[in-house]
Amino acid sequence: MDVQRYSRQLALPGFGRAAQARLAAARVLVIGAGGLGSAVIPALAAAGIGTIGIVDDDIVEVSNLPRQLIHGIADVGRSKVASAADTATALNPAITVERYEFAADAVRAIALFTHYDLVVDGSDNFPTRYLTADATATVGVPLVWGAVSQYGGQVGASNAPRTPGYRDLFPNPPRPGSVLSCEVGGVLPTVCATIGSIMATEVIKIVTSIGTPLYGRVTTMDALTGGFREVAYLHDPAAEPVDPLSFDYRHFCGVPSAAFSVSTAELAAEFANDAHPQLIDVREPWEVEIAALPMAVSLPLAELERGVPTGLDARRPTVVYCHHGMRSQRGLELLRAAGFTSVRHLEGGLDAWARDIDATLARY
């Protein structure tokens, strides 16, 4: 044990060498190396967590840098896992960082979680949040989760089924598009740092058995007032365990099925065959100014929520797209409800198009 390095932790009342030894022996898996992971991962590395696993399938973009402080300008275009792992090991060369450059699915989650003592969910989408909650409950490992949006965020912890879990607090996901993503609604960078720090604190508390974890409680922060609020919740006695291997998380969270999606390769093939569908771009005008697909009609999602304007042909094959493929899912839902008979959304959005088809758009 490096006594000099950890001297300020060792001096804490009730902490000491025993708690530090537990940190060194712990294996913690972090889902997401974005805004929350950027605060959680370096905090855990610096505190002395012995093994940190990082799961993410994304790459670093310029727009990530204000809030994802684990990455730097030189990391743009790199895998977030690789960038985060390098930062963590630079902070503390004595720890081990395990890299998983893929998106979590049920099979991988069940297999992976069994090798860790605790899972931290810093993901940015509801299918992954519900999957992670169910998989940790199935495997029997504690979970610390957090979420941020605009000027606020929340943190909770569970050790289901022994404590109330995520589904007890949120039995059903919100309607698609009703919760603004950071991409759409924005997020104050310091909110990510604050919420991520609280998440890291919960990890340390659970691993070392100091303090009282946020089991059965969720703490929320409002950065505009500087206030915090705590909400307690209990087990739902009517809830039944969910088997992650047989549950359709995308359908549960309102993600369009493959029948209503088009890949970048499929859309490029249609363009090559002169089969140009009607393109609808639901991003904001400032985003369209930076980069857009040719011949696309700009129709911000907020305007589409108020109704479909005249001039669009509901009978013509249509593809709706956004930046990452999140807003377009809501756009797809609105267009189908408005009577568009052949409408799909672009999987991965313009980000995937730039990566797979047209690298000149990668500046966005």
Pick the CATH number of 258-363 from 3.30.460.10, 3.40.50.620, 1.10.10.10, 3.40.250.10: 3.40.250.10
H or E element: which one contains 80? Answer: helix 80-91
Write down the pTM of the prediction: 0.80
153-200 pLDDT tens trace: 999 999 988 999 999 999 988 876 666 666 667 789 999 999 999 999
What pLDDT shows up at residue 225? 96
104-155 pLDDT tens trace: 899 999 999 999 999 999 998 889 999 999 999 999 999 999 999 999 999 9
Among 47, 322, 326, 334, the active-site one is 322
What pLDDT shows up at residue 226? 95
CATH assignment, 7-252: 3.40.50.720
Mean pLDDT along residues 75-85: 94
CA gyration radius, the chain:
22
Among 110, 155, 182, 218, the active-site one is 182
Is 253 marked active-site?
no
Q: Report the distance separating Cα 173 and Cα 185, nearest Å.
A: 18
Sign of the dihedral defined by the CA atoms of residues 115, 121, 123, 129, in that order: positive
Residue pair 344/271 in contact (Cβ under 8 Å)? The answer is no
What pLDDT shows up at residue 258? 65
Residue type, 356: D
The domain limits of the chain are 7-252, 258-363
